[in-house]
Structure 1
């Protein structure tokens, strides 16, 4: 049964990720991206990947992405895959995918640098696919499943 306290599911997910991150830290020694158990984010970013690549949340949950790498990244929804009635989301606050792509191409718009974060609250159930504009060709894509 789900605990209905505000933010409870969110904190549980973050607590799990912090514990998993602490366990993984030993295995990541010497890597460019190291997770800290004190970080409060749901999805981290390596040089060319979102970690984890897929996350499942509930309607109304906020997802926090943290740039845990030394490279700049974007978070941009694939507009044509959004669930019916869902709003577009992207770092930089752009209203659609093409505007986000153009802004990045013209002025590196929407870029979040190392240590910066971005959050979005998912209000519509379904599957949301997203990507990093500069690293899309390298396979930097992710999915948020909202139940």
Structure 2
């Protein structure tokens, strides 16, 4: 008859099972695919010429899938930028799906970034608050949408350079990315 081993983990020790379960969970986390989220964001650069005479988002048109994240990064060494949704909450006309949550990055200094996860399919138009009049606008298409020009009824309420700056939805659907 064997005497019990004191101070050693026996096969029925709950601490050992917990440790083994945790290790198995780590293994599964490393092997199983994960849904796209903020850590797998598609990047949009915010930049401009050194004099600040021209500013832009690159890409300015982007196709993503629902649940995917977009990260705006200010790559402009001498300027601040924002990523701001066209939405009444931001003092602008609605140019995004009605039920989607609006965003405003606030001012991003050089090197700073801001991330949004897009859940609802649709067309999302956005702008840079200090540079909207210079045409610094962008468009994100989430999922399968109608290629008809959206939001034409609100174009007259935007600065002319902004209204002219949006890439066509059909082009975004075809190319996936418009610089």
Scaled by the length of structure 1, what TM-score is found?
0.61
Relative to 1, partners in 2 of residues 1:140 and 1:59: Cα closer, same or farther, differing over 3 Å?
Answer: same
Q: Give the aligned length.
A: 99
The equivalent of 1:134 in structure 2 is 130
User: In the alignment, is residue 49 of structure 1 matched against residue 56 of structure 2?
Assistant: yes
Compute the displacement of 1:5 (Å): 2.7
Query: Is contact 1:41-1:66 (8 Å) kept?
Result: no
Query: Is contact 2:36-2:68 (8 Å) kept?
Result: no
Bigger Rg, structure 1 or 2:
2
Using CA pairs under 8 Å that are at least 6 residues apart, name the structure with larger relative contact order, 1 or 2: 1
Distance 1:130 1:8 in 2: 22
Relative to 1, partners in 2 of residues 1:58 and 1:84: Cα closer, same or farther, differing over 3 Å?
Answer: same
The equivalent of 2:34 in structure 1 is 6
Distance 2:113 2:85 in 1: 16
Compute the displacement of 1:82 (Å): 1.4
Distance 2:81 2:134 in 1: 12
Instruction: Give ranges in structure 1 of 5+ residues lacking alignment.
Output: 15-39, 92-109
The equivalent of 1:85 in structure 2 is 99
For the aligned residue pairs, the C-alpha RMSD in angstroms reads 2.2
Deviations 1:96-140, CA, capped at 9 Å, x for gaps: xxxxxxxxxxxxxx1001000000000100000000010111110
Distance 1:122 1:88 in 2: 10
The equivalent of 2:8 in structure 1 is none
Relative to 1, partners in 2 of residues 1:64 and 1:87: Cα closer, same or farther, differing over 3 Å?
Answer: same
User: In the alignment, is residue 68 of structure 1 matched against residue 75 of structure 2?
Assistant: yes
